[in-house]
Amino acid sequence: MHRGAYLVGVAGGSGSGKTTLVRALRQALPDGMVCQISQDDYYRPIEAQELDPNGKVNFDLPGGVDMDGLAKDLRSLVAGESIFRKEYTFNQTGKEPTLIELRPAPVILVEGLFVLHHEPVRELFDLRIFIDASEGAQLDRRLKRDAKERGYGPEDVLYQWENHVLPAYRNYLLPYRHLCDLHVVNESGFDRAVHVLRDHLLQSAGVVEPIDLQGL
């Protein structure tokens, strides 16, 4: 298939820093060079999500996300077509989702928990990145994020962590870690990784001379 873009998949557990890495790369690259896509924007409606044995919604199952729709949209972007998605907001009470236009770009950055688990998406990537962070670091970031962005208390976050998040991480992410081309460690930051990846992506788009990722 003729490729009109360089597709990068960024996978990692909840709180590992997927979104932060993708945003940092987007900011480090020239305007218009990057299309940023979040798996979260492909969540099915909340009424379609599965409930756990205690009757609580489990957002951490592959079936809760329209991964086939993501694969279709990625193929459209590669073919030079714009796509439109509503942003993911259904667990943020009172927030009205906006319609997002995603335009083709030389580099397409895709981040999400299940982007490696779903083979039709995984096989589209030219580069697969796995963000490594200890479970303790991930939990600490999730506690802070969910309190700030979603209004969740520590008890709710810890329940989800033990019953939903960790099982998903171990069942649907770690088994694919060995398939990744690059592992980025994010315990306290990843400035060096952003610098090296920026240069690699510039090269992949034909802006600079090739560099060797093997030295990382």
Domain borders along the chain are 6-215
Residue 132 belongs to what H/E stretch?
Answer: strand 127-132
Total residues belonging to the chain: 216
Q: 62 φ, ψ to 5°?
A: -55, -35
Lowest mean pLDDT among 36-40, 90-94, 178-182: 90-94
Q: Provide CB contacts within 8 A for 55, sequence distance 6+.
A: none
CA dihedral 89, 91, 93, 94 (to 10 degrees): 10
Looking at per-residue confidence, does 1 or 201 come out higher? 201
**Domain 6-215, CATH homologous superfamily name and number:** P-loop containing nucleotide triphosphate hydrolases (3.40.50.300)
- pLDDT tens digits for 79-133? 999 999 887 765 555 667 788 899 999 999 999 999 999 999 999 999 999 999 9
Whether this model's pTM surpasses 0.75: yes
Q: Based on the number of CB atoms within 10 Å of its own CB, is 110 exposed (0-12), middle (13-18) or buried (19 or more)? A: buried
Is residue 3 over pLDDT 60? no
Residue with tokens 């810890």: 158
